[in-house]
Amino acid sequence: MHWCGRWDSSSGEVEVRDSQGELVVAAKTTRPRVSDYSENRIGFGFEDGQILVWEKGLFSRRINQEKGEENSRKSALAAKLRSLRN
């Protein structure tokens, strides 16, 4: 995976690309100011004070997670929330 933080003078963006250069995920952010990494984690610090840290194993599991599994989990959470409202 390749991580990139960019700034175009009006908005920031963080991108993750695979080993072939294909975009995996991108997110709009404030200006990325600093990044650092270790074998299992990467972190970005942003101009607004926000700090984001990703753990390699968790990120990989979430990216590879089946969409159906994610949708069924969201449906179960939505059902729980509806039952709490009643």
Task: Please tell me the pTM assigned to this model.
Answer: 0.63
Exposed/middle/buried for 64, CB within 10 Å: 0-12, 13-18, 19+? exposed
Q: Is the pLDDT of residue 68 over 80?
A: no
Residue 78 predicted with pLDDT over 80: yes
Which CATH number, 2.40.10, 1.20.272, 2.60.40, 3.30.1450, labels domain 2-85?
2.40.10
Would you kindly state where each structural domain of the chain is located, as residue ranges? 2-85
> How far apart (Å, rounded) are the C-alpha atoms in residues 13 and 15?
6
**pLDDT tens-place string over residues 27-58:** 999 999 999 999 999 999 999 999 999 998 88
Sheet holding 51-55, edge to edge: 32-37, 41-46, 51-55
Give the count of alpha carbons within 13 A of 38, CB side only: 6
CA-closest candidate to residue 17, choices 8, 35, 5, 29 = 5
Give the model's pLDDT for residue 38.
93
